[in-house]
Amino acid sequence: MPHFFHLDGVLHAERTPLSRIAEQFGTPTYVYSKAALLENFDAFADACAGRDALVCYAMKANSNLAILDLLARRGAGFDIVSGGELLRVIAAGGDPAKVIFSGVGKTVDEMRLALSHDILCFNVESIPELHRLNEVAGAMGKQARVSLRVNPNVDAKTHPYIATGLKANKFGVAFDDALATYRTAAGLPHLTPVGIDCHIGSQLLDDAPLLEALDKLIELVDALGAEGIVLDHLDMGGGIGINYGAAGDAPPVPVGDYLGRVFARIDAWRAANYGGAPIKVIFEPGRAIVGDTGVLLTRVEFLKPGAEKNFCIVDAAMNDLMRPALYQAWMDVQQVQAGTQPAVSYDVVGPVCESGDWLARERELSVAQGALLAIMQAGAYGFTMSSNYNTRGRAAEVMVDGDTVHLVRRREDPAELFALESMLK
């Protein structure tokens, strides 16, 4: 069900007109729909019902405490990539026993923090990381549960910046080295190999590459079992894409269909080789949970017609939403209210001093100065990738629940941005 729609000529989030949010909270503001968030999470949870499965939300996509709290209460676990993210999970009341820790560069301090909270598992990406984790765990008198992130060398067929499962990527342990690396892990006294994981890329519209990766993990689990290294979970990573609404884009595979195919394959394998004994399955979705639950609300500052291009200068910029500048990502732009002007093709740009500061190119808009626009599907990798470039305070974030609007992060005051700095004595 769409949670952002036009009603009486005004774009709404649930039952709240975005124009009201702009008046009350100003712009630019990220606006999230609570109903959309829960619906997306439930698509995963429902497909996992009755199974030993865990949905670990990849919180890098959007780590606002209000979102983490809602998901934690729904039973979500979390995929983290830093000590800071673990502190957020705890601050939001999430359960560290449902946390998995991914990332190629975990520091000693981060390992200590995660071990002190007894997280579910470290997704380890290299041999030096195994040794470091073994030492840290040993010094704390602990045993670290580990999974190896295997790089299955499958082509996720997505933007090169967000493809992670090819040999040329920095991520994971090469498929051909996986067995030897597990032997190393099993030989280290303070590590317990418990799982295997992969993450081949993001914004995948088709699940065929994910199922190909699953087959490779299955092959490894069998080979490890034959050596006495018995794993109790298999983690598929994230990657399921969303519909950004670009013309010609294929629709993403429905979450239920994808999970259904994963479970069917796993069930057939377990029945054939393990007398039907199940294995726990973990998913790490980020974008599929939050991507279409948020928009970036922005106001037109100036219209600047030109010989080659017309510019629609808005108060949001690349520091608020990096995806277009960084990946040439196409994001849908909608007018909050219809305009009376003739439609003109505009590049929607921000005030930052970079030619790369654009949010959308060549869009037909009927707008005047002061009009409100919404950059759609901005719930994932929007706020979390924002910065303070040009000493711009970061946008406010609000969450809509029906006709109630909760401020879930107040707008940053520029004076706060340099409060940590000092001049030479």
Binder of ligand LLP out of 12, 106, 145, 199 (CB under 6 A): 199
Peptide bond into 160 cis (omega under 30): no
Residue 128 · residue 150 · CB < 8 Å: no
DSSP letter, residue 80? E
Closest CA to 98 of 117, 82, 116: 117
Each residue 67-106 as x (binds ligand LLP by CB under 6 A) or -, in order, gives: ------------x----------------------x----
Residue 94 · residue 78 · CB < 8 Å: yes
Q: According to the binding rule CB under 6 A, does residue 153 interact with ligand LLP? A: no
Minimum distance, C-beta of residue 60 to ligand LLP, in the bound complex (Å): 6
Residue 103 · residue 67 · CB < 8 Å: no
Chain center to CA of 82: 14
121 is an active site residue: no
Nearer to ligand LLP, 284 or 315 (CB): 284
- β-sheet bridge partners, residue 297: 29, 374
Residue 279 · residue 231 · CB < 8 Å: yes
Nearer to ligand LLP, 274 or 327 (CB): 327
Closest CA to 255 of 221, 292, 200: 292
Distance CA 333, CA 238 (A): 26
- Is 110 annotated as contributing to ligand binding? no
> Which stretch, 44-52, 64-72, 278-286, 313-321, contacts ligand LLP (CB under 6 A)?
278-286
Binding residues for ligand LLP restricted to 215-274, rule: CB under 6 A: 237-240
Nearer to ligand LLP, 122 or 381 (CB): 381
Catalytic one of 48, 198, 312, 353: 353
Binder of ligand LLP out of 29, 62, 202, 335 (CB under 6 A): 202
Binder of ligand LLP out of 120, 146, 162, 296 (CB under 6 A): 162
Helix intervals (H) in 234-344: 255-274, 287-290, 323-327
Q: According to the binding rule CB under 6 A, does residue 386 interact with ligand LLP? A: no
Minimum distance, C-beta of residue 382 to ligand LLP, in the bound complex (Å): 8
DSSP, collapsed to helix, strand or coil, labels residue 272 as: helix
Q: Check the CA dihedral 128-130-133-139 and report its sign.
A: negative
Closest CA to 365 of 318, 310, 298: 310
Binding residues for ligand LLP restricted to 322-351, rule: CB under 6 A: 323, 327
Minimum distance, C-beta of residue 412 to ligand LLP, in the bound complex (Å): 21
Binding-site residue positions: 239, 284-287, 323, 327, 354, 381
Give the footprint of ligand LLP on this chain (CB under 6 A). Answer: 58, 61, 79, 102, 162, 199, 202-203, 237-240, 284-288, 323, 327, 381
Binding-site residue positions for pyridoxal 5'-phosphate: 239, 284-287, 381
Residues labelled as active-site residues: 353
